[in-house]
């Protein structure tokens, strides 16, 4: 599903020194790979590079056979809407939209029929254990529930690749485990591929593989 070759990134002003160089990654459909590494190693930056949100200094990114590294901003934007799902530490649920509308948002952006989008959003909410909460406002939900809304939103349009950056970082251990169950279960069921950036040993241990980001690239690792 995703093939990354010799991906390099440096931030200008850092004396040309690479944040990471030589990132190689093969991610199959239905596979979840955890990425661990020290704070500042560049894990979030790597996800941003793979989503076209940060320019790279070299290398190749292929998604389902399509080379992405030369795409312009408009093409990246269209590709993200159609093929990517994102889950962030801070949920990023829009407070002025109800729960169902938050989940339907990616389908609206793809010009889906409004009724079909609403039906798909309600179905996804059931899938993440929030059936019947579509009319609720985000302010009425707990952190764990908000992250389930974010998971439903990340998957409602059937993305090929899910990028999850510390998705349980704001949750207590009990809620984190339950949210991770939902995330992994739904991603695997959907046949999407997922990269899961985490500092949590428990979270990393639940992935199919764990890779550590170093200055030289990604190396096989144990859960931290």
**How far apart are CB 112 and ligand ATP at their closest, in Å?**
33
Q: Does 42 bind ligand ATP (CB under 6 A)?
A: yes
Length of the chain: 224
Single residue of 31, 32, 43, 105 touching ligand ATP by CB under 6 A = 43
Instruction: With contacts defined by CB under 6 A, name the span among 42-50, 103-111, 122-130, 184-192 that binds ligand ATP.
Output: 42-50
Listed ranges 36-44, 56-64, 95-103, 183-191: which one lies at the site for ligand ATP (CB under 6 A): 36-44
Give 139's DSSP letter.
Answer: G
Using the contact rule CB under 6 A, the part of the chain among 23-31, 41-49, 106-114, 177-185 near ligand ATP is 41-49
When asked if residue 55 is in the footprint of ligand ATP (CB under 6 A), the reply is no
Taking CB under 6 A as the rule, which mask of x and - marks residues 112-141 in contact with ligand ATP?
Answer: ------------------------------
By the rule CB under 6 A, 44 interacts with ligand ATP: yes
Q: Does 39 bind ligand ATP (CB under 6 A)?
A: yes
Query: Rounded CA gap, 46 and 7, in Å?
Result: 9
Give the C-alpha separation, 8 to 46, whole Å: 9
Helix, coil or strand: residue 221: coil
16 exposure class (CB count in 10 Å sphere: 0-12, 13-18, 19+): exposed
Token pair recorded at residue 188: 């695997």
What's the CA gap between 16 and 94, in Å, rounded? 38
Element (DSSP H or E) covering residue 196: strand 193-197
Q: Enumerate binding residues for ligand ATP (CB under 6 A).
A: 11, 19, 37, 39-45
């Amino acid at each position: 599903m995703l093939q990354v070759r010799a991906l390099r990134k440096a931030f200008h002003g850092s004396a040309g020194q690479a944040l990471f160089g030589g990132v190689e990654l093969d991610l199959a459909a239905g596979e979840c790979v955890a990425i661990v590494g020290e704070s500042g190693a560049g894990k979030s930056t790597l996800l941003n590079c793979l989503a076209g949100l940060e320019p790279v200094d070299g290398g190749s990114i292929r998604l389902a056979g399509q080379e992405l590294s030369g795409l312009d901003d408009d093409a990246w934007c269209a590709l993200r809407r159609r093929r990517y799902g994102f889950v962030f530490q801070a949920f990023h649920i829009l407070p002025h939209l109800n729960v169902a509308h938050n989940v339907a948002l990616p389908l609206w952006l793809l010009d889906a029929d409004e009724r079909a989008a609403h039906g798909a959003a309600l179905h996804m909410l059931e899938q993440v254990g929030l059936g019947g909460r579509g009319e609720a406002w985000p302010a009425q939900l707990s952190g764990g529930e908000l992250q389930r809304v974010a998971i439903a939103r990340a998957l409602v349009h059937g993305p090929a690749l899910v990028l999850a950056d510390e998705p349980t970082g704001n949750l207590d251990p009990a809620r984190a485990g339950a949210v991770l169950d939902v995330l992994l279960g739904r991603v695997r069921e959907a046949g999407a591929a997922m990269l899961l950036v985490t500092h949590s040993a428990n979270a990393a241990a639940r992935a199919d593989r764990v890779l550590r980001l170093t200055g030289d690239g990604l190396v096989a690792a144990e859960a931290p």
